[in-house]
Amino acid sequence: MRRIKIVVNGTAHDVEAEDRTLLSDLIRHDLRLTGTHVSCEQGVCGSCTILLDGRPVRSCLMLAVQAEGHEVETVESLSGGEATPESLTSLQRAMSDQHGLQCGFCTPGILMSVTAAQRDGLDAEETIAEVLGGHICRCTGYRGIRAAIRQVLP
């Protein structure tokens, strides 16, 4: 077991984890932030995407000990931990408005990747080209997701 100091969604945590604990497992099981989803466990689907120091990473491919001293943002950070219509970001509202989600399993990872692209100043078409290729959505056919990105980004 090893002590890990990590900031998640603005809150400092000092947790104990085995060396082999995945960051996704630490987030979901130890910190009880279940918005980060895990599906393929191979970094292919994108559902486990979080922001590490502002950059999107697949939390299922990263060990928790590698996040020591870093800042992590999960999907819960986007609306301040609340899920009220007033607290949603413009991107979250656009995903709803444009029917960009059905089962919602891929949505947290997509939201985090698009948030990073938005912060980087990418436009809608750059974001669609660069971000959506790294996320698998089995429900929507991506039409609503692309429309949501176009609604929010220039």
Q: Kindly report, residue by residue over 68-109, the tens digit of the pLDDT.
A: 999 999 999 998 766 677 788 999 999 999 999 888 889 999
Domain with CATH 3.10.20.30 in the chain: 2-77
Say which CATH architecture domain 2-77 belongs to.
Answer: Roll (3.10)
pLDDT for the residue 43: 83
Q: Tell me how far CA of residue 150 lies from CA of 98, 126, 147, in angstroms.
A: 10, 10, 5
Residues of the chain with CATH 1.10.150.120: 90-152
Which whole number is the average pLDDT over 55-72?
A: 97
Q: What whole-number distance in Å separates Cα of residue 116 and Cα of residue 10?
A: 16
> What distance, in Å, lies between the first and last C-alpha atoms of the chain?
47
pLDDT in tens, 118-143: 999 999 999 999 888 889 988 888 99
b/e string for 129-150 if b means 16 or more Cβ within 10 A? eebbebbbbeebebebbbbbbb
Cα Rg of the chain (Å, integer): 15
Mean pLDDT of 8-17: 96
pTM of this prediction exceeds 0.85? yes
CATH code of the domain made up of 90-152: 1.10.150.120
